[in-house]
Chains A and B, each alone.
Chain A
Amino acid sequence: MASITTQEATPSKRRRLGGVREKGAQAPPKPPRMNWRLRLRRDKSLVLMTVPALILLALFNYLPMAGIIVAFEHYDIYQGILNSDFVGLAEFRELLSNPDFWHAFENTLVISFVQLILYFPIPIALALLVNTIISARARAFIQAVVYLPHFFSFVLVITIFQEFLGGAGVLNVFLNRHGISSWNVMTNPHTFKYLVTAQAVWKEAGWGLIVFLAALAAIDPALYESAAVDGAGRWRRMRHITFPGLRGIVVLMLVLRLGNALSVGFEQMLIQRQAVGAGAADVLDTYSYIYGIGGGFGSATTFGADYSYGAAAGLFKAVLSLILILGANKLAHAFGEDGLYRK
């Protein structure tokens, strides 16, 4: 046992000292796997540190999952989960045969797609831009200004948009005063997908900036210097150094984004549903809320709660999201990136 260890240690040490691995050299043999007891002893303190988080996760994320059962019942609040009638997939059949549900599904996909195309590249572009600023103070200032809206709630963001672009907002009052016909983007159902994307960009782009700036900071400046010495121009440096340096994080963000593709902003849709109508603003999340729980919210006032139906809609979305995130992760691995975890 001991001799094997010595034998293995020697070449690895040599390689480390020698620095560059010779071409054609044998791949290093895998270190012997420790058994789980050894590993536990080694990582004891780390494992202990995750316990509080695990408890929270179990208590608030996994335990309530048992409530999924209501999607397969005619849940009656007075009978409770255990005594309500079990109906199998009846709620899902009703859900999938409802055109309004498919409409909400379509809206979700369309808005998600528009956001992917128009919103996703913006923080990257911003990061590249901010990264070129040399003065650290100016950079910090711009960063602070751009990511401040992240801390606003959507109620506030929409109010600000309404005050500027609404029918009685600054822009339209100005247009009206000068006899130009008004341009009401806040109540136009056809352009609603661009409006919500614009709101999301305004609110969140600065926040997304941070991640990409961190990735840019991780690129070794020496690479740029040597490339510049070799005569590479600005564009070539970006193409051959910056982009490859960003690729890992971009793919990770894309995977996360795809996993979340069916969540396109619950509050944003609910608040503006009255302004553009259910036809434009109903997405899977609001659909599940409005028909499942309801309550009074402007025109979203429901006529009777149907928890099982809402739960079925929610579960449907969750399953699709899971498939999406696994698919995206697989794709990331196919591109040779880490994705959510290392393969």
Chain B
Amino acid sequence: MATSNGFTRRQVFRTSAAVGGAIAATPLLAACGSGKASTKNSGVADTNTIKSVIPTYKASTAVTPDIPSVQGANGAASDPAFLTFPANPAKSVTGPVGSGGSYQAVTPLWGSVPAPGNSYYTAVNQAIGATLTDSPSDGNNYATMLATRFASGNIPDWLDVPGWNVSAIQNFAEGVDKYFKDLSPFLAGDKILDYPNLAAIPTGGWQAGVWNGKLYGIPLWTSAGNFPGLMFYRADIFKAAGIDASSVTSADKLKALGPELTDKGKGQYAFEDLSSFLYQVFNIPFSNGHTGWKRDSSGKLVNGYEVPEFLEMLNFANSLATSGWVHPDALAGDSSKAKNRFWAGKTVITADGNGAWNKDDSKSGTAANPNYERQGFKVFAYDGGKPSMPLYPAAGMFSYLNKKLTDDQVKELLRIANYLAAPFGTQEYLTARYGKEGTTYTMTASGPILNDEGNKVVTDTLDQLANGPAVVFNAGAEQMTKDYAAWQADAVQHAYKPMFYAMNITEPAETAKATTALEAVITDVRMGRKKVADYQSALTSWQNAGGNTLRTFYEGVAKQYGTGN
């Protein structure tokens, strides 16, 4: 459901559309009646079991942020922000790391694959005293690659699995048990203190790495302010047109910008396809990348598809499309060039993952137009009322170790993970993210800057296997860091935890087809090809073909395991 335009190097995970993970429950499926899905796997855990495998949290004291984290509602918090890189990086790892082992890893990469055996890999391998060979795979087709690997059983030593790819893998919960190492004996409780940098990853991240009551996943890019994304605008074009972005506080006011910002002769359109990013604006229950559940006034579980706001949202999106204010290429489904359109000023308002707001984006944008400036709309609700922002699990991506590894190998890899997870501002962080000073990066007053060699070889590869808690940092672009930190500090105030928050649930497979079919109709309505009335009949089909089964399934989950709130 999430469009690929959400993914941007570093904070790739934030854009995720995901079906979270793994309560694949035999008793629940049996209760559904039409149990076509494999019912061989059970392994549902109650909260106490989960608590018993969660590692102890011990915050790192290595560095103090320039803009501290802001506490928000419902446990949300903004990421700490740094304007400059600490002058004297501390050391966070003592003693030897690897013991000379050789390991194969596979990670997703949105961008071109760097040459194997390059100077960055060499620098990290030297530092960790082992040989990690990463084979990055295209992030946009990663799910297909994973599904094939799971079907064939060809699993590398260390594998990155983004949460939003899990739904593409048949019965992932069963696969986790079959292919991955249970890390609970190595990390549960105080055992993690052997790996202090892993212990500094907040509990919320580890929680989401629990499958079938055992700790499997090493959480990546952990943050207490993980959101589906936000709506962006071209601040320079707004300024030139004399529009004040802070006046946009409702869907109607947003829509009113349509004719003002559309100039077809110039090839400029007001909107990109805003896709599921609109769910937040219309207060539609949204959980981890797809519509979520809530209880209506009678106490019945209703899906996001079924709430009246969903129709409002479709009406809104449909009217933007049919009024001719959405870029035609976006309506033609070309989401891969959404960023290029925004950079070139062909669209003025877009929606994207939080990760899109970074220095690389600014570099690409100013290349197309020197005045380029990306800014985010403050969170608002469609009716001008109280806004709400669904919180994602603290981690959306995880890395897993192969089950075939021996205990000693697992410990070596965990020590390596501990190294890669070094918090921002430490020496190990510099090596893990930037390689070797003088070879791949130069140290400036504001922080490390990749040199030509670095730009070629340093990209998100090894740091997709383990990394520390998220921070906001854009070397040399202090204003951007301040803007983003301010946006996040505001957004966390409106955060709420959707029902079944951070519970790893594998939905019954036979419901998937109904959802796939309904999503196709939603796209048609959003793009202006079908009418909102068509959606209503499609919704009835969805309910009969799978929606009601899902409802019963989730009622069962709620009864047995709670709602995660």
Q: Which residues of A contact B (CB under 8 A)?
A: 74, 76-79, 98-100, 162, 166-169, 172-173, 176-177, 182, 184, 186-187, 189, 272-279, 282, 290-291, 293-296, 298-299, 301-307, 309
- Once the chains are docked, how many angstroms separate the CA of A189 from the CA of B555? 39
Task: Find out whether the CB atom of B168 lies under 8 angstroms from the CB atom of A166.
Answer: no
Across-interface contacts of A293 in B (CB, < 8 A): 144, 147
Kindly state whether residue B327 has any CB partner on chain A within 8 Å. Answer: yes
- Once the chains are docked, how many angstroms separate the CA of A79 from the CA of B290? 29
Task: Find out whether the CB atom of A276 lies under 8 angstroms from the CB atom of B328.
Answer: no
Contact pick for B170, options A76, A276, A291, A298, CB 8 Å:
A76
Q: For B177, give the chain A residue with the smallest CB separation.
A: A78
Kindly state whether residue B520 has any CB partner on chain A within 8 Å. Answer: yes
Distance between A162 CB and nearest chain B CB, rounded to angstroms: 6
Task: Find out whether the CB atom of B175 lies under 8 angstroms from the CB atom of A296.
Answer: no
Task: Find out whether the CB atom of B333 lies under 8 angstroms from the CB atom of A303.
Answer: no
Across-interface contacts of B150 in A (CB, < 8 A): 77
Across-interface contacts of A182 in B (CB, < 8 A): 264, 324, 328
Across-interface contacts of B264 in A (CB, < 8 A): 173, 176, 182
Contact pick for A302, options B140, B512, B541, CB 8 Å:
B512
Contact pick for A296, options B168, B324, B509, B527, CB 8 Å:
B168
Q: Provided the pairs A76-B38, A162-B332 are in contact, do residues A303 and B523 lie with their beta carbons within 8 angstroms?
A: no
Q: For B269, give the chain A residue with the smallest CB separation.
A: A168
Q: For B174, give the chain A residue with the smallest CB separation.
A: A78
Task: Find out whether the CB atom of B509 lies under 8 angstroms from the CB atom of A162.
Answer: no
Chain A CB within 10 Å, residue with most, of B265, B515, B530, B541? B265
Kindly state whether residue B4 has any CB partner on chain A within 8 Å. Answer: yes
Task: Find out whether the CB atom of B513 lies under 8 angstroms from the CB atom of A306.
Answer: yes
Kindly state whether residue B14 has any CB partner on chain A within 8 Å. Answer: no
Task: Find out whether the CB atom of A100 lies under 8 angstroms from the CB atom of B517.
Answer: yes
Kindly identify, within residues 136 to 193 of chain B, every residue whose CB is under 8 Å from any CB belonging to chain A. 140-141, 143-144, 147, 150-151, 165, 167-171, 174-175, 178
Kindly state whether residue B267 has any CB partner on chain A within 8 Å. Answer: yes
Task: Find out whether the CB atom of B513 lies under 8 angstroms from the CB atom of A291.
Answer: yes
Total A-B pairs, Cβ < 8 A: 156
Q: Provided the pairs A76-B38, A301-B519 are in contact, do residues A187 and B331 lie with their beta carbons within 8 angstroms?
A: yes
Kindly state whether residue B19 has any CB partner on chain A within 8 Å. Answer: yes
Kindly identify, within residues 498 to 541 of chain B, every residue whose CB is under 8 Å from any CB belonging to chain A. 507, 509-513, 515-517, 519-521, 523-524, 527, 529-530, 541
Q: Provided the pairs A74-B38, A189-B529, A305-B168 are in contact, do residues A167 and B147 lie with their beta carbons within 8 angstroms?
A: no
Across-interface contacts of A277 in B (CB, < 8 A): 520, 523-524, 527, 529-530
Across-interface contacts of A78 in B (CB, < 8 A): 38, 40, 171, 174-175, 178
- Once the chains are docked, how many angstroms separate the CA of A79 from the CA of B519? 30
Given contacts A173-B267, A272-B333, 8 further A-B contacts (CB under 8 A): A100-B517, A173-B264, A187-B529, A278-B517, A278-B520, A294-B168, A302-B516, A304-B511
Distance between A298 CB and nearest chain B CB, rounded to angstroms: 6
- Once the chains are docked, how many angstroms separate the CA of A274 from the CA of B2? 13
Task: Find out whether the CB atom of A304 lies under 8 angstroms from the CB atom of B332.
Answer: no
Task: Find out whether the CB atom of B527 lies under 8 angstroms from the CB atom of A187.
Answer: yes
Task: Find out whether the CB atom of A295 lies under 8 angstroms from the CB atom of B346.
Answer: no
Task: Find out whether the CB atom of B168 lies under 8 angstroms from the CB atom of A299.
Answer: no
Kindly state whether residue B135 has any CB partner on chain A within 8 Å. Answer: no
Kindly state whether residue B36 has any CB partner on chain A within 8 Å. Answer: yes
Distance between B106 CB and nearest chain A CB, rounded to angstroms: 16
Across-interface contacts of B168 in A (CB, < 8 A): 294-296, 302, 304-305
Task: Find out whether the CB atom of A298 lies under 8 angstroms from the CB atom of B516.
Answer: no
Per-residue CB contact flags for chain B residues 339-356 toward chain A (1 = under 8 Å, else 0) read 000000010000000000
Kindly state whether residue B3 has any CB partner on chain A within 8 Å. Answer: yes
Kindly state whether residue B260 has any CB partner on chain A within 8 Å. Answer: no
Distance between B275 CB and nearest chain A CB, rounded to angstroms: 9
Kindly state whether residue B335 has any CB partner on chain A within 8 Å. Answer: yes
Kindly state whether residue B67 has any CB partner on chain A within 8 Å. Answer: no
Task: Find out whether the CB atom of A294 lies under 8 angstroms from the CB atom of B175.
Answer: no
Task: Find out whether the CB atom of A304 lies under 8 angstroms from the CB atom of B328.
Answer: no
Q: For B164, give the chain A residue with the smallest CB separation.
A: A296
Across-interface contacts of A189 in B (CB, < 8 A): 529
- Once the chains are docked, how many angstroms separate the CA of A276 from the CA of B529? 7
- Once the chains are docked, how many angstroms separate the CA of A304 from the CA of B512? 6
Across-interface contacts of B171 in A (CB, < 8 A): 76-78
Task: Find out whether the CB atom of B267 lies under 8 angstroms from the CB atom of A168.
Answer: yes
- Once the chains are docked, how many angstroms separate the CA of A301 from the CA of B406? 37
Kindly identify, within residues 550 to 565 of chain B, every residue whose CB is under 8 Å from any CB belonging to chain A. none
Distance between B270 CB and nearest chain A CB, rounded to angstroms: 13
Task: Find out whether the CB atom of A290 lies under 8 angstroms from the CB atom of B516.
Answer: yes
- Once the chains are docked, how many angstroms separate the CA of A275 from the CA of B528? 11
Kindly state whether residue B329 has any CB partner on chain A within 8 Å. Answer: yes
